[in-house]
């Protein structure tokens, strides 16, 4: 048996350490080894589960790896189930093309040894950790990007970080080509990113099933993020205000639409009502409506006002967050279509299968930018996509 297949077999048997793969050529060889082994063992090609990350791993990343290994979304609510992976692959690559020059590429947390330790415990078999030079060789300038029409102008996150989604869609497409997984797993924590990757993969006919895992949170509700290490202790104490505000708003919006998930309803109650004087509420409502229409881009839809219900919810979220002194600018509060990621003026306009609406916030606390979202309507970690797309995976003859 060839070298990589032997190493992989030993890793899968728990007799060897995880395989660290640095180059595209090695990754291709390891991928062939996955199929060689699966053919021998099961008489079919391998089911390869893949979780792309930028490292500095936390329990959010690990939950995706758990789901990828077992093949089920383990939130007890979703009916979506993927096949268990024969081989679990994670990537660690801090992708320079998704960082703007003003962003934190050089100081992005890097915790390689700890990451390996955590990956070992999840049963990951292979970690693909290419260098930037391997992914973007300077000798042959990189000229091919995956760009989604309208995403930079059409979504507030795209507008706030021009080029970010292009960088993400490009690197993930390239990682998909290198790893050739059957299933890939992303976190709802980055909800619009999930929609973008789903869309780019569908549009380009990428034969990989994409799954979304729920957002893993600290006990006080703060969404786990590699960037949380930037927070001072006072900022860390204030940071859960985002999720509390989102939960309060989601609970009251969902009360008029679909049943509220117990966990959200509870957190919403705990956070209590926000006390906003009428003048502040009015000013915030106007800001919310203005920034919303600015975010919608050109065309007839640009002038479509947010429904009063959403204006009120957005204003309340802004006020709740602003009431924490540590917070700076609330960059946006947006309601997006769970299927397209485009901002919505009314919840009923969602085109998602289950009417899912993604309520997202980006807010600055000190120099750190925090992002969070919840799904209103639909199942919380289900953005309203069909169970699988495309309805086949490599090697299964479906
Ligand atoms: P990153 O390393 O931040 O690029 O994230 C890698 C993957 O982990 C992405 O699919 C993220 O959406 C996901 N992720 C990040 N934070 C969380 C979290 N708190 N819960 C679940 N998934 C997460």
Whether 384 and 356 have beta carbons less than 8 Å apart is answered as yes
CA 91 / ligand 1 centre spacing (Å): 12
What's the pLDDT at 279? 52
Distance 53 CA to ligand 1 centre (A): 7
277: CA distance to ligand 1 center in Å? 37
pLDDT at 127 (0 to 100): 98
Label residue 301 by pLDDT band (50, 70, 90): very low
Looking at residue 304, what is its pLDDT? 80
Mean pLDDT of the chain: 84
Q: How far is the CA of 289 from the centre of ligand 1 (A)?
A: 30
The predicted structure's pLDDT at residue 262 = 44
Q: Quick check: 395 pLDDT over 50? A: no
- The pLDDT of residue 387 is 44
Query: Which of 145, 197, 184, 185 has the alpha carbon at shortest distance from 394?
Result: 184
- Give the pLDDT of residue 385: 61
Which H helix or E strand runs over 366?
A: none
Mutate to test the pocket of ligand 1, among 55, 59, 61 (most ligand atoms within 8 A of CB): 61
Q: What is the pLDDT of residues 330-357, one digit of tens each?
A: 999 999 998 889 999 999 999 988 888 9
Section 257-275 average pLDDT: 38
Determine the average pLDDT of the residues in 65-81.
69
Please state the pTM of the whole predicted model.
0.86
- Tens digits of per-residue pLDDT, 143-156? 999 999 988 878 89
Which entry of 58, 61, 211, 292 is annotated as an active-site residue? 61
Contact in structure between 95 and 54 (CB atoms under 8 Å): yes
Q: Whose CA is nearest to atom 11 of ligand 1?
A: 187
For residue 136, the model assigns a pLDDT of: 96
Pocket test for ligand 1, best of 109, 187, 380 (most atoms within 8 A of CB): 187
C-alpha span between 316 and 283 (Å, rounded): 11
Q: Is residue 82 very low, low, confident or very high in pLDDT (cuts 50, 70, 90)?
A: confident
Q: What is the per-residue pLDDT across 49-60, written as a single tens digit (0 to 9) for each?
A: 999 999 999 999
* Distance in Å, CA 282 to ligand 1 centroid: 35
How many degrees, rounded to 5, is the angle at CA 246 between CA 240 and CA 386?
120
* The pLDDT of residue 225 is above 50: yes
pLDDT digits (tens, 9 = 90+) for 101-145: 999 899 999 999 999 999 999 999 999 999 999 999 999 889 999
pLDDT at 316: 96
How far is 277 from 266, CA to CA, in rounded Å? 25
**Ligand 1: which residue has its CA nearest to atom 17?**
60
Per-residue confidence (pLDDT) for residue 297, from 0 to 100: 37
Residue nearest to atom 13 of ligand 1 (CA): 187
What per-residue confidence (pLDDT) applies to 212?
Answer: 87
**pLDDT tens, position by position, 176-216:** 999 999 999 999 999 999 999 999 998 999 999 888 888 99
Structure tokens at 320: 């709740």
pLDDT exceeds cutoff 90 at 246: yes
Rounded distance, CA 243 to CA 209, Å? 29
Asked if 275 is an active-site residue, the reply is: no
Ligand 1 lining (C-beta closer than 6 Å): 53-54, 60-61, 63-64, 186-187, 189-190, 213, 215-216, 223-226
Q: What residue's CA is closest to ligand 1, atom 10?
A: 186
Q: How far apart are CA 214 and CA 383, in angstroms?
A: 10
DSSP string, 142-181: -------TTHHHHSHHHHHSTTHHHHHHHHHHHHHHHH--
pLDDT band at 369 (very low <50, low <70, confident <90, very high): very high
Which string of DSSP letters, residue by residue, matches 305-359?
PPPHHHHHHHHHHHHHHHTSTTEEEEEEEEEEETTT--B-SSGGG--STT--EEE
What pLDDT does 74 receive? 55
């Amino acid at each position: 048996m060839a070298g990589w297949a032997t190493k992989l077999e030993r890793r899968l048997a728990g007799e060897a350490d995880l395989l660290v793969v640095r180059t595209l050529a090695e990754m291709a060889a390891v991928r062939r080894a996955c199929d060689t082994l699966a053919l021998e063992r099961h008489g079919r090609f391998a089911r390869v589960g893949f979780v792309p990350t930028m490292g500095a791993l936390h329990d959010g990343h690990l939950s995706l790896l758990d789901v990828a290994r077992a093949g089920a979304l383990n939130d007890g609510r979703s009916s979506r189930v993927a096949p268990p992976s024969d081989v679990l692959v994670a990537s660690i690559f801090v992708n320079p093309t998704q960082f703007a020059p003003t962003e934190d590429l050089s100081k992005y947390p890097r915790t390689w040894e700890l990451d390996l330790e955590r990956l070992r415990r999840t049963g990951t078999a292979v970690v693909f950790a290419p260098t930037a030079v391997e992914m973007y060789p300077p000798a042959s300038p990189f000229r091919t990007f995956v760009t989604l029409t309208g995403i930079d102008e059409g979504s507030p996150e795209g507008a706030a970080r021009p080029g970010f989604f292009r960088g993400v869609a490009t690197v993930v497409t390239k990682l998909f080509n290198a790893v050739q997984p059957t299933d890939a797993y992303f976190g709802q924590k980055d909800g619009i990113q999930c929609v973008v990757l789903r869309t780019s993969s569908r549009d380009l006919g990428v034969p990989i099933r994409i799954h979304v895992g729920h957002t893993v949170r600290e006990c006080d509700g703060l969404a786990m993020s590699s960037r949380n290490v930037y927070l001072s202790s006072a900022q860390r104490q204030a940071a859960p205000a985002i999720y509390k505000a989102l939960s309060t708003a989601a609970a009251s919006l969902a009360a008029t639409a679909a049943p509220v998930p117990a966990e959200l309803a509870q957190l919403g109650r705990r956070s209590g009502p926000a006390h906003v004087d009428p003048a502040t509420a009015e000013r915030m409502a106007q800001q919310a409506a203005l920034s919303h229409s600015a975010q919608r881009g050109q065309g007839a839809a640009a002038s479509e006002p947010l429904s009063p219900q959403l204006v009120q919810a957005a204003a309340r979220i802004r006020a709740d967050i602003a009431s924490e002194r540590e917070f700076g600018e609330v960059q946006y509060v947006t309601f997006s279509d769970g299927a397209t990621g485009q901002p919505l003026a009314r919840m009923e306009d969602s085109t998602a299968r289950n009417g899912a609406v993604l309520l997202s916030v980006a807010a600055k606390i000190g120099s750190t930018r925090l992002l969070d979202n919840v799904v209103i309507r639909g199942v919380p970690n289900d953005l309203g996509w069909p169970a699988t797309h495309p309805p086949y995976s490599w090697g299964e003859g479906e």
